[in-house]
A and B are shown apart, each in its own frame.
Chain A
Amino acid sequence: MRNFLFELKEGLFISFRAIAANKGRSVLTTLGIVIGVWAVVTMSTAIKGIDNAFKTGVASLGSDNIYIDKWAWFNNDTPWWELRNRRDLTMEDYEKYRSLAKLPIAIAPTNWTRKQVKYGDNLLESVFLTATTSEFIKTTNLTFSDGRFFNELESNGGRAVAVLGSAIAEKLFPNGGAVGNIIDVSGKKLRVVGILEEQGSWVMGDFNPDNQIYFPLEFTFKNFIHRRESITINVRAANPQSVAEVEEEAIGIMRRVRSLKYNEENDFSINQQSGLLGEIDKTVGVIQIAGYFITGLSLFVGAIGIMNIMFVSVKERTKEIGIRKAIGAKRRTILGQFIAEASIICLIGGFIGLIFAVITGFVINQWLPTVVQFDAIILAVGISLLTGILSGFAPAYTAAKLDPVDALRYE
C-alpha cells in the first residue's frame, strides 16, 4: 500500500512535468471535457433552481389544496370538447358543497379574469385578477408586506377593494405607499387595502401571486360577469395526509350536488398542485435529456480527443519510454504514468468546465435563485476522472508493453 501511494505520487509528478511541457496542446484537447462538465453542472444547477422556484411557488399557494373545477387543468385524458360540454360549476354548487363538506379547513370560490389596470400614468394591460371571498387567504400561505386581505364584510358586500401582488404594486406604485389609494380596473375604481410579500414563484406563471390582483367575487358579479358563470372552488385540507380524504369527500358531495346517477361519469374535475408538478417534471425532463445528450456527446468527443492525443504522445515519447524502462520502470509504472497523465488533463478540463458552470450559475441566478450544488462538483470531478482513466488506458497500455530495445532504437 505504501509502495502504491509512493508510485502514485511519483507518477503524478512525472505526469505534471509532461503536461507542463505540452501546455497548449493539453488544454486544447480538454475542450470536450470542459463542455461536458459545464453542461452537466449547469443542467443540475438549473434543475435545482426550477425545483426551488416550484417549491416556493406551491408553498405560497398552499400545497394541501384541491381545486374543484369544470376543467381538468393538467391531465388530458378527457377530450377538451367533453370538458367544454360539461355544465358550468356555479355559486349554487359552491354553496351546496360548502354546507355539506366537513373535512376542509377553508373553502373559497374563485373566478379569474384579465383586465387593464392603471394608477395615474402607470398602465398595465391584461393583468390576471382573482375574484374570490375573504376565506381565500386561509387557503394560502400568503403574507403581507403592507395592509391586509379584504374582510368578510367587504367580501360579502362586494366592496370595491383590492389586494395587490408585489410585482403589480411595484409597477403601479414605484414610490410605494399603495395602500389607501384608488386604482382603476377596467374603468372601475378599487381601493388598495393590502400588498402581498414577494413570493418569487415565477414558475407558477399567471398563478404567481406577485403578478395578481385579488378582489371580492361579489364585486365581479356586480360589475364584470354574470352570477351564473363558472367558478373554481378552492379547498384546503388540514394537512398533506388528509388531501386524499378531502378529495374523496369532495367527489361524493359534488356528485350529489350535480345529481349524477351511479352510471354517469363525473362532470367536474378535482385538480391538484401535483398536476403542476407533473408539468414541471416534463420541463425538467426535457432539460435533463438535452443536458445528458450534450454531456454524453462532448465527453465522448473529449475522450476520443484525449485518447488520440495520448496515442500521439506515446508515439512521440517512445524513446523516453525506452529510457525509463532501461533504468528500471516497470510496465505498471509506465501504464500508471500515462493513465495519470490523461486523468490530470481531464481533471484540468473538468475544473475549467466547473469554473464556467459557476459563472453560468451566477447568470441563471438572475432568474432562478440557485447555486452550483456540491454533489454536482463531485459528479464533475468523477466524470472527468473516469473519462481520463478510460481514454488513457489504451494508449497507456500500448506504452507499457513497448519492447525496451525497440523503444530505445526509435528515432
Chain B
Amino acid sequence: MNIINIEHIAKIYEVGSEIVKALADVSLRIDKNEYVAIMGPSGSGKSTLMNILGCLDTPSRGIYNFEGFNVSEMDDNQLATIRNKKIGFVFQTFNLLPRSTALHNVELPLVYAGIAKAERLERAYKALENVGLSDRVEHKPNELSGGQRQRVAVARALVTNPSIILADEPTGNLDSKTGNDIMKLFQDLHEKGNTIILVTHEEEIALHANRIIRIRDGFVERDEIVKERTFLSGN
C-alpha cells in the first residue's frame, strides 16, 4: 500500500536575484513497511525533500499525496495535525527541548494530540523503555550522551504511533559506535513494521535500508532495491 506518492515536485528558492532549485523535479512512491534511504552529496536537496515529505514545508510545484490525502492543498493547521499524528521526525541535531526532561520531551507530541495526562505518561514511559532509556526518564538533554539524546528523539518520534518515521542524518552528530547502535534501533523498528525514510550522505549508513534513492542537483539519479524487505506486510 502506498503511503507517499509525489509527482513532479519542485522546490524553488529565490535568494536575491538568484533562483535556487533545491528540488527540480522529483517523483516517488513509498509503500508501507519500506525502509528507504535517500542518498546524495551535501546540497543535493535531501533535507528539502524530507521536509516536504514530512509536511514541514510545501513544494513550489507538484502534487503530494499522503495516505490518499492531497497534502499540497492543506492549510497550516491540517499540516500540523498530519505531522503530529502521522509523522515522526528524527533530526541530526536531536532537536529536543533543552530545559525539559526526557519524559516531557517524549510526552509533548501527545500533549498536542490532546491526550490526557495519565495516558500520556504511560505511553511516553513505554516509548522510552522501547529505546532502552527507562532509567533516564527524568534526565534533561544536557545530562544525556549524544546517543541517548538521539534515542529520546526516536522515542518521541514513535510515541504517537506514526505511519512513517523520517530521519535526517540521524547519525551525523554521533561517533560510529553510537551511530551503529542507532542504526540497529532503526533496524528493529523496521522489523516491527514501521515505515522508515532515512536521509544520509554516507554509503555505509544507506546500506542498512532496503531501497536507496540517490538524488543529485534536485533530481532523482537512481532508485534501486538493494535487499529484500526483512518485514513483509500482508499484501
The main secondary structure of chain A at its interface with chain B is helix
A376 proximal to B (CB < 8 A): no
Contact: B83 with A320, CB < 8 Å?
A: no
Contact: A327 with B81, CB < 8 Å?
A: no
Tell me, rounded to whole Å, the shortest Cβ–Cβ distance linking B54 to chain A: 8
Tell me, rounded to whole Å, the shortest Cβ–Cβ distance linking A109 to chain B: 80
- The segment from A37-45, A118-126, A200-208, A329-337 that touches chain B is A329-337
Chain B contacts for A328, CB-based, 8 A: 80-81, 83-85, 109, 112-113, 160
Residue of B nearest to A331 (CB): B76
Q: State which residues 292-338 of A face B: CB under 8 Å.
A: 319-320, 322-333
Contact: B95 with A17, CB < 8 Å?
A: no
Contact: A323 with B84, CB < 8 Å?
A: no
B89 proximal to A (CB < 8 A): yes
B144 proximal to A (CB < 8 A): no
Contact: A405 with B108, CB < 8 Å?
A: no
Chain A contacts for B99, CB-based, 8 A: 17, 21
Tell me, rounded to whole Å, the shortest Cβ–Cβ distance linking A176 to chain B: 68
Q: Complex formed: what's the CA distance from A401 to B85 in Å?
A: 21
Tell me, rounded to whole Å, the shortest Cβ–Cβ distance linking B98 to chain A: 8
A10 proximal to B (CB < 8 A): yes
Interface size class of B (residues with CB under 8 A): 20 to 34
Contact: B57 with A405, CB < 8 Å?
A: yes
Interface size class of A (residues with CB under 8 A): 20 to 34
Contact: B95 with A408, CB < 8 Å?
A: yes
B77 proximal to A (CB < 8 A): yes
Bitwise interface map of A from 1 to 28 toward B, beta carbon under 8 Å scored 1, else 0: 0010011001000100100010000000
Residue of A nearest to B52 (CB): A405
A62 proximal to B (CB < 8 A): no
Q: Complex formed: what's the CA distance from A324 to B108 in Å?
A: 8
B12 proximal to A (CB < 8 A): no
A369 proximal to B (CB < 8 A): no
Contact: B56 with A405, CB < 8 Å?
A: yes
Contact: A17 with B100, CB < 8 Å?
A: yes
Contact: B57 with A320, CB < 8 Å?
A: no
B187 proximal to A (CB < 8 A): no
B114 proximal to A (CB < 8 A): yes
Tell me, rounded to whole Å, the shortest Cβ–Cβ distance linking B142 to chain A: 13
Bitwise interface map of B from 51 to 68 toward A, beta carbon under 8 Å scored 1, else 0: 100101100000000000
Residue of A nearest to B112 (CB): A328
Bitwise interface map of A from 201 to 232 toward B, beta carbon under 8 Å scored 1, else 0: 00000000000000000000000000000000
Contact: A408 with B156, CB < 8 Å?
A: no
Partner of A323, one of B54, B81, B95, B111: B95
Contact: B51 with A405, CB < 8 Å?
A: yes
Taking beta carbons and an 8 Å cutoff, which residues of A are in contact with B?
3, 6-7, 10, 14, 17, 21, 319-320, 322-333, 403-405, 408
* 3 residue pairs, one from A and one from B, having the closest CB atoms: A328-B84, A328-B112, A327-B109
